Structure 1
């Protein structure tokens, strides 16, 4: 049954309102990154203004944001890769052997607030002389990325028919060989989904990096705070830095949207 005219018009209007509500802050952020601080405070220049690239020059030249971009990418990539190496086999074992209690213990990390762990982590890692290095950032990001990957991949593996692996065993494969040659290739959409979401979390993480990073390992979300002073805020530089942080994630979400949708829905049905 097709939707009636008034309902269709209401649905279109509702979609427009929602999209504008989501996109308007992003558009304002991008526009403000090309304004001077004076123009940002001037409401008459909200739409029409003389654009300037001085804020981006300040970000890349004076603030050395290229170093922070490399730091964020390295921490996000390493934490995601290590979480996949550990989380995918763990999720497969828990799904195939009914390890519900073990899975519950792992997934409890998704419930524990990260802020409650900062003081113990700082105490432990400072005694190990790891605070300020890449290793402590990677490990702290894995604390959330690993349970997320296990949660996603468990549902995906439970949706794959066990008969495929059994046929591989009949043909002479070992259980590990069946997992590597049959199950793992079929679970590519789920792995892509878990990797994308884990990378986005690590890239956007602020709390862990604020406490555990150092001057040379500072990531982008923490580096943005350099534009916030005690007496004033450099809104132009802040908006330019925020645009640089947001742009890679928007591109990843745009081009990887189909993998995220297929990966999250693949484990919804079995058989």
Structure 2
């Protein structure tokens, strides 16, 4: 009995630690966004202060934050649609047209996700520059879709392998083609996986900095790049950067809250059943 309670207590301590590890930085950013500059730079952090919306006003009016928000929304949505679209068809091809190379190809896609992203920056930068899309939103869209594609293929293959073969056979006997089986049988069953893949791809694109910084210019900055402009060579505008970061977090938190069951179901099912 003592051993069991010790184990439970240890788990609670670990969970509390990771909860605080996650919540405290977010809480600091949010509170700093409502503080005046003199309150942010106090030696001892102040819990009681007079809140102000000046930082939000300055971020939106003086930092082109509205433009960054629109750019990020456009890049995240389009790159996620491309990655999930191609990834769904690729996963279906690898699972339905079985051959001895299917697993090898699938593992190859997963290895692409394990390669450090920075190693792909120079080749992608060169290709996008040669095609004339450098400094446009096409650059980060292509980069984010390419970086998300291996994981999406691997995730959705796990779902498609779990689709009962009898359903596919029954649809084929009824006269359905491979594509009709895909749209009428496979897609409705793996919708939780598609939802999870879409949200994870969108979250990655929304928060990605490295490729967005190198492939855009001032008119096509995304939110992470726009926030980084508040960091100067000598000082950091903590008020505006905290306000911008807070607004940046809100959309993904709202989306994640409403689709969290799909994310949990998608990631666990796709990993375990695959």
Structure 1 length-normalised TM: 0.93
- Aligned match of 2:145: 142
**Could you tell me which residue of structure 2 aligns to residue 82 of structure 1?**
82
Does 2:141 match 1:127?
no
Q: Which of 147, 160, 164 matches 2:163?
A: 160
- Is the contact between residue 153 and residue 190 of structure 1 (CA under 8 Å) also seen in structure 2? yes
C-alpha distance in 2, partners of 1:137/1:211? 9
Whole-Å Cα distance in 1 between the matches of residues 161 and 63 of structure 2?
Answer: 48
Q: Is contact 2:159–2:273 with CA below 8 Å preserved after alignment?
A: no
Unaligned runs of 5+ in 2: none
Kept in 2, the 8 Å contact 1:159–1:266? The answer is no
| Shift, 1:223, TM fit | 0.3
C-alpha deviation, 1:8, in angstroms: 4.5
CA offset at residue 72 of structure 1? 0.4
- Asked if the contact 2:35–2:51 (Cα under 8 Å) also holds between the matched residues in 1, the reply is yes
Q: Is the 8 A contact 1:33 1:239 kept in 2?
A: yes
Q: Which residue of 2 aligns with 1:251?
A: 254
Q: What residue in structure 1 maps to residue 173 of structure 2?
A: 170
Aligned ranges 1:220-259 → 2 under 5 Å: 220-259=223-262
Corresponding residue for 1:16?
16
Q: Give me the CA root mean square deviation.
A: 2.0
CA drift of 1:197 comes to 0.5
For residues 90-133 of structure 1, the C-alpha deviation after alignment (integer angstroms, 9 at most, x for no partner) is 10111221412322332232122221222222223222221011
Q: Whole-Å Cα distance in 2 between the matches of residues 182 and 227 of structure 1?
A: 50
Alignment match, 1:63: 63
- Name the SS of the counterpart of 1:138 in structure 2: helix
8 A Cα contact 2:29 2:242, kept in partner: yes
1:199 corresponds to 2:202: yes
Deviations 1:28-78 (A, max 9, x none): 110011112221111445201111110000011111211111100100100
Alpha carbons of structure 1 residues 125 and 269: separation in structure 2 relative to 1, 3 Å: closer
| Number of matched pairs | 270
What's the TM-score, normalizing by structure 2? 0.92
Which residue of structure 1 aligns with residue 51 of structure 2? 51
